[in-house]
Amino acid sequence: MKMILLTITFVAALSLCGFAAETSAKSGKLLHVVALKFKAGTNAEQIQKVETAFRDLKKKIPQIATLEWGTNVSPEKHDKGFTHCFVLSFKSEKDRDAYLPHPEHKSFGKILGPVLDDVFVIDFWAKE
């Protein structure tokens, strides 16, 4: 009987730990990281148009909590041709999910598409 009680207690504790970890992870901010690689021959004016259009998404899509961006300055030479990185944050997966099909996001894709060689996207819940 003690063994059964001990097993039940152990399983319950593990379940609570998993629930607490999941709740904790989702109480922070959801980061959406987008790295861009432009096609060879893309000129500075075309790149600036993409930069401006991406930055303007923050003004047009209320679900975006923050938007930061920059160009690669790493001396490590592991960028694989990706030059630009945009980091957006969302308060919830629901907000991120509203951003993805948003008409302004789709409109931005039409500006980016003709000059895009490759894109890398990753989302994660920020941890300390």
Residue extents of the structural domains in the chain: 28-125
CA proximity to 32, closest of 72, 69, 70, 86: 86
Q: What is the pLDDT of residue 19?
A: 45
Q: What is the mean pLDDT of each run of 10 residues along the chain (128 residues)?
A: 45 45 63 98 98 98 98 98 98 98 98 98 96
| Residues constituting the chain | 128
pTM for this predicted structure = 0.79
| Strand ranges in 50-115 using DSSP code E only, listed in sequence order | 66-71, 84-90
- pLDDT for the residue numbered 5: 40
State residue 24's pLDDT score.
Answer: 42
Q: What is the pLDDT of residue 114?
A: 98
CATH T-level fold of 28-125:
Alpha-Beta Plaits (3.30.70)
Residue 26 pLDDT = 64
Which is it for the CA torsion 87, 89, 95, 96, positive or negative? positive
Q: Please classify residue 83 by burial: count the beta carbons closer than 10 Å to its beta carbon, then call 0-12 exposed, 13-18 middle and 19+ buried.
A: middle
